[in-house]
Structure 1
Amino acid sequence: MTTIPSVKGLDKAGVNFKPDYDPTWLMGMEVKLNRYPCFLGPWSKPTLRMRVLCVHDSTELILRNLIAYKMSGLTRTYVASYVIAMDMLVNTGEDVAKLVDSRVLLNFMGSNEEAANMFNNIAKQVACIEFFYEEQWETLNMYCDGYWPKHIARMRSTYFSSPWNIIALVAGIILFTLTVVHIIFTVKSAGSNK
């Protein structure tokens, strides 16, 4: 089974999260690559579309009962795959907060940490023979392991982590540009004085 980074890691790499209001499958998660023309060639930025999930106090009970029901018969384990996928996506309260901000998750529990703990606890005792999100996870991993997403994520955390870093970067670029212009005019004026 392919594993992926959590929502926070995917977000840093540039993955978008959007709700799917008209899914073909209720537990469907679809990865769409948005192609943008760029000076470096075609740039694809993936969007993970998933059905809106309402999380409340009885969600854990409902999911556990559905998993037990599906495991008892000869039916496929769609619910177990979904729970394992959500466990991979959600590790901390920050992951839940990002999904709530993206309108993919509606959290009616006490806090984001409670919702994260619920997803992590449900998946502890779940075994999944056939993981139904393998193709989507491979697409996300191929994107995240690419050269540009890794470096852009590192640049974001280094240079754009706070507003002061952005202001300092812009000020440095302006200062560098003014210095180059000053040097050009100095050289031109020195050449015209001869």
Structure 2
Amino acid sequence: MFVFSTYERLASESFPGKIENIHDSWLRGALSKLLISEENLESKIRKSDERNNIPRIPQHMAERVDFRNYYEPRIISIGPIHLPKEDLLQGKLYKDLWAAKYVQGADFHRIQEVHRMTRQNAYISMQFMYLDLLKNEKLASAYDHPPDGKMFATLALVSDGCCVLHLLEKSDNSFEAQEELEISIDKLLWMHQDLLIMDNQIPFQVLRLLCEDQERLEKCLGNFLQVHGIQTAPKLRRQNQEEQELRLIVQGDNQEEEGNESDPLHLLDYLRRALLMRDLETIHKDIRVKMRSWHLRKYRIGTIRELRAAGIRVRRHSNINSLYPTFNHGILYLPELTVDGSTAHIFLNLVAHEIWPGFRNNFAISSFIVFMSSLIDQPEDVKELRLAGVLINELANDKEVADLFNKMDTILVPETPLFAHIRDQIHVHFKSKRGKIRMLSWMGEASNTFFRSPWTIIALLAAVLGLVLTFIQTWFAIHPKSS
């Protein structure tokens, strides 16, 4: 009762007239504690939202066994979250080497700015994370026992930032990248996959501070996109030094709403922007806004084979920069998609980025994955997309692609207007041409059954010939020719 009585006294002083008339002592104490704790709770919520420098993978996705390989770096750790893992300490040799090479040509004034910003409030959450890591004796020894979390965060941010910039700058299309980075091609590919992991990132503002030359920074970012098959890079907004410092001090690395006017959060967020470069206003202008459903759902419209049987054709979208499908006059236009060894890393980490509570967005990438997972169920669906020029398969076979999208089919997202509109368009198409669709469905089933290969065609012709000969034999048996 001592705790409750203290809360009751504080609540009576702060909120007079609120609890005096409550006779039950336990209820009066509980409400008093709730009133007094309101400010503390709001402070905790704000702090949890501000810890966005390096957000963690959402727990329900990180614990999935079949997703784990896509959320664990293999060689290199960026930031504090994966730093204590002993199997990644080998990557520190590459980090130190590449950071040293970048620092040789860097402006030491920029590095001093990173140090100053780190010691201010911009990266306060990272300071606590690095401070916890100092308890690991082996890790602290690898970094020469820094005196506190601030110095450790400064050292790690400078080392990671310079390492990432040197890696991206040398990862162009030339054949000398392996020699300049002094690494084998397989490890280099794994490192680029490590840079896609959501909680293995470095704040973008650190890269800005370390690379003052805007053109040089954009070249590094362009190389990063080209490694993953993206040719068009969004331009960065130019900002002067005073604006950059004010943004860091006041906002930290916080970006509550998506938009291309401000800098991305990190490399993964920059890749997401590159995939969503098309102007959404031109897409949504013809969409009738309906009351939004807040249920998590999947956009079930049928597989490619079911759509084809219903008379819906699939074509490749003419806009190569568009990730958004469209439906018009019975034709479903889909963006060109290359599926290779990095596709799962890109998509699953972008999904984790979009569902992170601190990032407000329209779930565009997640909705696209759910939409494509609805279209692809069997290897035959992948084959149809390949023949339509929509999908480029760089995996071993079509079954691997189908298995990948079936694995991602467990993702649930809130309904978004664009994909809900396409689903409704297809359903309206079904209703308006139900009789014709039924006939086309029968014809499609007959085509898939009897004309899917030369052998089935030969078997069909043999069966028809057998029926004709049987009919002729029966006819002459009933109507024999007179002698």
TM-score by length of 2: 0.30
Contact 1:31 1:136 in 2 (8 A): yes
Give the equivalent residue in structure 2 for 1:130: 415
Counterpart residue type for residue 112 of structure 1 = D
What code does the residue aligned with 1:47 have? I
Q: Is the 8 A contact 2:303 2:374 kept in 1?
A: yes
Q: Which of residues 382, 397, 400 is equivalent to 1:114?
A: 400
CA contact (8 A) 1:32 1:47 kept: yes
Pick one of 337, 340, 350 that aligns with 1:56.
Answer: 340
Query: Matches of residues 24-173 of structure 1 in structure 2 within 5 Å?
Result: 26-33=322-329, 46-72=330-356, 73-124=359-410, 126-131=411-416, 132-145=418-431, 146-158=434-446, 161-162=450-451, 163=457, 165=460, 168=464
Matches of 2:444 and 2:307 in 1, distance apart?
13
Contact kept? 2:309, 2:441, Cα under 8 Å = yes
Which structure: greater strand fraction? Answer: 1
Call closer, same or farther: CA 1:157–1:127 in 2, change over 3 Å.
closer
Pair 51,156 (structure 1): closer, same or farther in 2 beyond 3 Å: closer
Using the alignment, how far apart are the partners of 2:443 and 2:311 within structure 1?
12
- Following TM superposition, by how much is the alpha carbon of 1:123 offset from its aligned partner in structure 2, in angstroms? 2.8
Moved more, 72-81 or 145-154: 145-154
Letter in 2 for 1:98: E
Letter in 1 for 2:318: Y
* Map of 2:268 onto structure 1: none
Counterpart-to-counterpart distance in 1, 2:326 and 2:399:
26
Query: Deviations 1:109-142 (Å, cap 9, x if unpaired)?
Result: 1111110110111231x22112331111122223
SS at match of 1:137: helix
Provide the secondary structure at the position in 2 that maps to 1:110. Answer: coil
State the 1:87 CA deviation: 0.6
Q: Partner of 1:98: helix, strand, or coil?
A: helix
Take 1:130 and 1:157, find their aligned partners in 2: how far apart are those partners? 32
Q: Give the secondary structure class of the aligned counterpart of 2:306.
A: helix
Letter matched to residue 11 of structure 1: R
Residue in 2 aligned with 1:39?
A: none
- Please state whether the residue corresponding to 2:450 is helix, strand or coil: coil
Identity rate of aligned residues, in percent? 19
Partner of 1:31, secondary structure, is: strand
* Count of residues in correspondence between the two structures: 157
Comparing 140-149 with 128-137, greater Cα deviation is found at 140-149
Confirm whether residue 17 of structure 1 aligns to residue 314 of structure 2.
Answer: yes
Question: What is the CA–CA distance in structure 2 between the aligned matches of 1:96 and 1:20, rounded to whole Å?
Answer: 17
**Matches of 1:79 and 1:56 in 2, distance apart?**
17
Provide the C-alpha distance between the structure 1 equivalents of 2:424 and 2:347, rounded to a whole number of angstroms: 25
The one-letter code of the counterpart of 2:353 is Y
Gaps of 5+ in 1: 34-45, 173-194
Q: 1:74 to 1:10 in 2, by over 3 A?
A: same
The 1:166/1:16 distance shift into structure 2, 3 A limit, reads farther
**2:341, 2:395 within 8 Å by CA — same for their partners in 1?**
yes
> Deviation at 1:147?
1.6
Aligned-residue offset at 1:144:
3.3
Q: Deviations over 1:129-187 (max 9, x none)?
A: 1233111112222333512112221133237733365895xxx9xxxxxxxxxxxxxxx
CA contact (8 A) 2:316 2:388 kept: yes
Letter in 1 for 2:437: P
- The 2-side partners of 1:86 and 1:156 are apart by 22
- Counterpart CA distance in 2 for 1:143 and 1:76 is 26
Q: Is the 8 A contact 1:10 1:144 kept in 2?
A: no
| 3-state SS of 1:57 partner | coil
Is the aligned partner of 1:7 residue 2:291? no
- Look at both structures and tell me which one has the larger radius of gyration over its CA atoms: 2
Q: 1:22 to 1:156 in 2, by over 3 A?
A: closer
